């Protein structure tokens, strides 16, 4: 899962980045509204953390422009303490959730997880497909109740597939959601990760859809 952080306070931006990376996300960040707007407009993110008070373009305008352009990325808005009018403007502009400063990083992470799950149509924090379960709170994966140890790349790949069960996901899409903008993207590595995941899970749930990509579905569900 790939997250965009738009926050002009360098220290807070760094803290958010550190926490998100530790939680297993890949992160792109911007320190002003213009750059943030550009990234959100041109790169696919699974969620964005967007501050309201930003230089060059304020957070409300950034969000309004994204929504006007049809981007549905879930957005967690950061507002100044006790500014209820900020919250109203944020939600009216298309924010999915908001958090007032100061906040605990753990709350940011919990809200991000919920936003990402809900946008993929999952209400609970555990996401399952057949024998495979991912606990989005702890990033622990089990298969038939057996704990599976995954590298961060394998985990991101499986997490993305689990959030999009039953859909065909292209290699390009997987690459875009597994690496940040500075990564030298090579979609061939996806095949390697898929191979390792199949081996570790020991089930035949990741189907190769020739010429299109991959699809995760319950064993025996056909198609
Ligand atoms: Ca600010």
Given a cut of 70, whether residue 66 has pLDDT beyond it is yes
Contact yes or no for 67/91 (Cβ under 8 A): no
| pLDDT band, very low/low/confident/very high, at 33 (cuts 50, 70, 90) | very high
Mean pLDDT of 159-184: 89
Rounded CA gap, 139 and 155, in Å? 8
Question: pLDDT tens digits, residue range 76-120?
Answer: 999 987 778 888 888 889 999 999 999 999 999 999 999 999 998
Cα(23) to ligand 1 centroid in Å equals: 23
Given a cut of 70, whether residue 75 has pLDDT beyond it is yes
- Enter the tokens of residue 113: 């997880």
Cα(134) to ligand 1 centroid in Å equals: 34
Structural domains in the chain, CATH included, are 2-119 (3.40.50.2300), 126-216 (1.10.10.10)
Please identify every residue whose CB atom is under 5 Å from ligand 1, which is an ion: 8, 51, 53
**Residue 49 CB burial class (10 angstroms; 0-12, 13-18, ≥19):** buried
**Residue 10 CB burial class (10 angstroms; 0-12, 13-18, ≥19):** exposed
Cα(54) to ligand 1 centroid in Å equals: 5
SS3 104: coil
SS3 158: helix
Percent of the chain scored above 90 by pLDDT? 76
pTM for the model stands at 0.85
pLDDT of residue 188: 75
Cα(156) to ligand 1 centroid in Å equals: 30
Mean pLDDT of 122-146: 92
Mean pLDDT of 35-41: 98
Rounded CA gap, 108 and 19, in Å? 9
**Residue 177 CB burial class (10 angstroms; 0-12, 13-18, ≥19):** buried
Q: DSSP for 174-220?
A: HHHHHS-TTS---THHHHHHHHHHHHHH-S--EEEETTTEEEE--TT
Cα(82) to ligand 1 centroid in Å equals: 15
User: How many CB atoms within 10 Å of residue 202?
Assistant: 12
Contact yes or no for 14/103 (Cβ under 8 A): no
């Amino acid at each position: 899962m790939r997250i965009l952080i738009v926050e002009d306070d360098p220290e807070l931006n760094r803290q958010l980045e550190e926490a998100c990376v530790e939680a297993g996300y890949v992160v792109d960040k911007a320190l002003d509204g213009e750059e943030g707007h550009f990234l959100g407009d041109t790169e696919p993110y699974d969620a964005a953390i967007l501050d309201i008070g930003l230089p060059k373009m304020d957070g409300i305008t950034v969000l309004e422009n994204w929504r006007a352009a049809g981007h549905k990325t879930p957005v967690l808005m950061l507002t100044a303490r006790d500014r209820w009018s900020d919250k109203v403007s944020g939600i009216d502009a298309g924010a999915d959730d908001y958090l007032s400063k100061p906040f605990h990083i753990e709350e940011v992470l919990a809200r991000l997880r919920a936003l990402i799950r809900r946008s993929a149509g999952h209400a609970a924090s555990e996401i399952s497909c057949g024998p495979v379960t991912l606990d989005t709170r702890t990033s622990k994966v089990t298969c038939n109740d057996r704990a599976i140890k995954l590298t961060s790349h394998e985990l991101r790949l499986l997490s993305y597939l689990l959030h999009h069960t039953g859909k065909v996901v292209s290699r390009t899409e997987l690459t875009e959601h597994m690496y940040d903008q500075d990564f030298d993207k090579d979609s061939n590595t996806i095949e390697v990760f898929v191979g390792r995941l199949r081996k570790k899970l020991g089930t035949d749930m990741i189907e190769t859809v020739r010429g299109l990509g991959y699809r995760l579905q319950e064993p025996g569900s056909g198609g």
